[in-house]
Each structure stands twice: as structure tokens, then as C-alpha cells.
């Protein structure tokens, strides 16, 4: 398990990548572009090797991106990206022209100074909710090199009419499948099982979307509902104002329409790192897809 920066033994902090790099998100186009990493010794303030710790060094920059326990099992970002690519090659690709240039079938992002990786993959298995409402399922695979989590798999959906990214509806909307891996063969096999499990259950969650199409929400409730679920006030206010403009003359709109206003803003206009992106997506889903009988939003 990785250690928090304040827990690092004195003398190791000078080897870490600069804190300013945490804000940088590197977008890559191919798994082979993802850097490799190596476990290296960590030295104390007097130059002695600290047997209980290892540094995770990014090989292209030679920067140590984190310090972890000596028991830490390194599953590299490139291995994860390649495994997703292998599994994805056996899945249906989207129909030509179905996805816009701004929403590729596969995207790879490196962030938090290279400590974290996100790979997203859209699967060309079309689901129809109604006239003009068609979705593709998408997969999000995360990896960390600081002990924050093991490899994680979650899902999302792409609404083809507008290329909005939706949080995949299942259970309480917040579902992770965490994989604890020991080698590259295990990685590919476990990813394959987790991805096919998600795809097998994707249709089960679509009822929440169709229910949201039938239910209405007051436009004036959109902003406070988003704030109550943790979306920052400025973003909530922007979405609330746009929901009001979208609403009918009686200031009502469907929960689905309100959710589309939110996801259009979050997908196209907000530029944040993948962790914040997922946080905001979940907040919008909880606030706007919630059934009407679940009670009013928290003040």
C-alpha cells in the first residue's frame, strides 16, 4: 500500500516529481506511447537505503512519481493500456461516423504527475431507449502507482444524438470493480471478465434513464440539487441557468432533459482531471436521475 506524502521518511521527498505536474493531463493516442515505470531503492537523509520503501520511477523522465511500501506489486500503466487494447480488439467497434472526432473510440490520459492512468473505450453495441435516444456503452479503466487503488473498471454511456457522456446507470450509480493483480497474464484475464460482466449488465441499468424521461423536475430545483450532491457552485449555477432556459413555460423539464443539460456542459466545456470528471459525473447523476419518490434534494 502506498504512503501519503506527509508519511515519507525524511530524505525521500527530493526525489519526487514536482508538485506542479499534478495538474497536467497528458493525452496519448496509443498504448505504446504510455511510459514504463521501474521500482528503485529509496535512500534516507544520510544516504542509507530504506529497505521498507521503494520509489516508482518513470523511465522516460527518470522522475520518481511516488514512494510505496517494499511489498507493493507494480502493475505498470503501459501493461494496463495494452490489456485494455487487447480486450477491446475483440469487441464491436462503433459504426463509422457514429462518434464525433472529439469523442474517439479509445482515449488514454495520464495525470497526477504520471502516477495515475485512465483508459476509456467505447463499445459499438447500440441500445435504443426510444425515438432518437440511442446509446453506446463505454468502459473506463483506471490504474494508480501510488497505492491509492488497484486497477479499477467502471462504465459510462455515450448518447449518440449529442455525444454526451453519461454515468452508467446501475444500482446506486456508483459502481467500481476493483482488480487485485499479480502479473500481466492475470491482468488481461481479469480485465476481460470484468468488462464482459459490465457489458452483460449494461441493459439492466437503462430503466433509470427511461424513468427519468417520464419524470419532471422544476428548473429552479436543478441548481440546489447539484449543489447538494457536491457539484461546485459555479458549475451548478451555470447548469441551473441553462436548465431554466430549456424548461417549458411552466418552468418544468424532464429529469432526462435536465441531465442532458448537465452532461453537455460537463462533457464539452469542463476541463478537469479524470478524478474530478468522475466526481462531477456522479454528482449530476445522483442529483438529476434520482426517482421523484426518493425525496427532495438536500438543502
Domains of the chain, residue spans: 5-69, 77-204, 215-294
Task: Label the pairing between strands 133-144 and 164-167.
Answer: unpaired
Q: Which tens digits make up the pLDDT trace of 188-235?
A: 888 888 888 888 888 877 888 888 899 999 999 999 999 999 999 999
67 within 8 A of 87, measured Cβ to Cβ: no
The alpha-helical segments, DSSP class H, found in 52-121 are 77-89
Closest CA to 239 of 263, 215, 204: 263
Side-chain-facing half-sphere of 185: CA atoms under 13 Å: 0
Collect all residues with Cβ–Cβ distance below 8 Å to 14 and sequence separation of at least 6. none
Predicted TM-score (pTM) of the model is 0.80
Q: pLDDT higher for 62 or 98? A: 62
Q: Which tens digits make up the pLDDT trace of 33-59?
A: 999 999 999 988 888 898 999 999 999
Phi, psi of 134 (to 5 degrees): -125, 145
173 backbone φψ class: left, alpha, beta (φ>0; ψ -120 to 50): left
Phi, psi of 191 (to 5 degrees): -60, -45
Positive/negative CA dihedral, 262, 268, 272, 276: positive
The dihedral formed by the CA atoms of 198, 203, 206 and 208, expressed in degrees to the nearest 10: -70
Q: pLDDT higher for 162 or 294? A: 162
Which pLDDT band holds residue 184 (cuts at 50, 70, 90)? low
Amino acid at each position: 500500500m502506498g504512503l501519503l506524502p506527509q508519511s515519507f521518511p525524511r530524505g525521500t521527498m527530493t526525489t519526487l516529481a514536482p508538485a506542479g505536474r499534478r495538474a497536467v493531463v497528458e493525452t496519448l493516442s496509443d498504448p505504446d506511447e504510455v511510459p514504463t515505470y521501474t521500482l528503485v531503492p529509496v535512500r534516507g537523509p544520510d544516504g542509507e537505503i530504506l529497505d521498507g520503501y521503494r520509489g516508482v520511477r518513470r523511465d522516460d523522465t527518470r522522475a520518481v512519481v511516488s514512494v510505496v511500501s517494499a511489498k507493493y506489486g507494480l502493475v505498470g500503466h503501459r501493461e494496463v493500456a495494452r490489456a485494455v487494447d487487447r480486450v477491446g480488439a475483440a469487441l464491436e467497434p462503433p459504426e463509422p461516423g457514429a462518434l464525433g472526432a472529439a469523442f474517439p473510440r479509445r482515449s488514454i490520459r495520464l495525470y497526477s504527475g504520471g502516477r495515475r492512468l485512465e483508459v476509456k473505450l467505447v463499445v459499438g453495441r447500440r441500445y435504443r431507449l426510444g425515438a432518437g435516444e440511442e446509446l453506446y456503452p463505454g468502459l473506463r479503466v483506471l490504474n494508480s502507482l501510488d497505492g491509492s487503488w488497484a486497477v479499477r473498471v467502471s462504465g459510462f454511456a455515450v448518447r449518440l444524438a449529442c455525444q454526451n457522456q453519461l454515468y452508467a446507470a446501475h444500482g446506486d450509480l456508483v459502481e467500481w470493480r476493483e482488480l487485485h493483480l499479480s502479473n500481466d497474464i492475470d491482468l488481461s484475464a481479469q480485465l476481460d471478465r470484468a468488462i464482459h460482466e459490465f457489458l452483460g449488465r449494461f441493459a439492466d441499468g437503462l430503466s433509470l434513464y427511461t424513468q427519468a424521461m417520464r419524470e419532471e423536475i422544476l428548473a429552479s430545483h436543478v441548481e440546489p440539487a447539484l449543489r447538494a450532491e457536491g457539484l461546485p457552485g459555479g458549475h451548478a449555477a451555470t447548469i441551473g441557468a441553462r436548465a431554466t432556459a430549456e424548461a417549458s413555460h411552466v418552468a418544468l423539464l424532464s429529469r432526462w432533459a435536465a441531465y442532458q443539460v448537465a452532461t453537455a456542459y460537463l462533457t464539452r466545456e469542463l476541463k478537469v482531471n479524470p478524478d474530478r470528471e468522475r466526481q462531477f459525473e456522479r454528482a449530476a447523476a445522483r442529483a438529476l436521475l434520482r426517482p421523484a419518490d426518493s425525496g427532495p434534494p438536500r438543502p
